[in-house]
Amino acid sequence: MDDLRQWMEAQFADHKTEPNSGLGKAISYLLRHWAKLTLFLRQQGAPLDNNIVERALKKAILHRKNALFYKTTNGARVGDLFMSLIHTCELNKMNPFDYLTELLRHPAEVAVRPAEWMPWNYRREAADVAA
């Protein structure tokens, strides 16, 4: 990173890059915000990207876009509930459709012990009920 900074500074010092060009503007931006942009380097093992966070946000953004078509507040609440359940299932590496189907097949058991039927526990519970 130090080499990169030296290279960028040399571009202007040696007049190799015009400050008003596209590259010049990008270099100026990087140099102006260098301390903040390289803050992650102070933490050993910090990831170089935030793809995990961006994937999670993508779900919420897509849901927000789809929520424009809810006709009632209650419909929006139900949609939010299902979006949350579906995303939680995906995070726990399970099929959301199968999970919701199991909940509908065992309403009495779910009502008695709802914590046991959370997405991270439901396979074990479904197997116990089937046995």
17's CB contacts (< 8 A; 6+ apart) are: 11, 23, 24, 27
What is the rounded distance in angstroms from the CA atom of residue 48 to the CA atom of residue 45? 9
Assign 9 a pLDDT band (cuts: 50, 70, 90). very high
What rounded mean pLDDT belongs to the chain?
86
pLDDT at 124: 66
pLDDT at 127: 60
- The pTM score is 0.51
- Selected residue with higher pLDDT from 63 and 33: 33
Angle at which helices 96-105 and 122-130 pack, to 10 degrees? 40
Q: Rank 1-15, 50-64, 112-126 by mean pLDDT and report only the highest.
A: 1-15
| Ramachandran category for residue 112: left, alpha or beta (phi over 0 → left; psi -120 to 50 → alpha) | alpha
Q: In this structure, how many other beta carbons lie within 10 angstroms of the beta carbon of residue 44?
A: 5
- Selected residue with higher pLDDT from 9 and 68: 9
Q: Where are the domains of the chain?
A: 2-42, 51-130
50 to each of 10, 46, 54, 60, 82, how far by Cα in Å?
30, 10, 6, 16, 26
52 to each of 36, 39, 82, 84, how far by Cα in Å?
21, 19, 21, 17
Give percent above pLDDT 70 in the chain.
93
Q: Rank 8-22, 46-60, 77-91, 116-130 by mean pLDDT and report only the highest.
A: 8-22
Assign 84 a pLDDT band (cuts: 50, 70, 90). confident
Q: Output the CA torsion 99→104→107→112 (10° steps).
A: 20
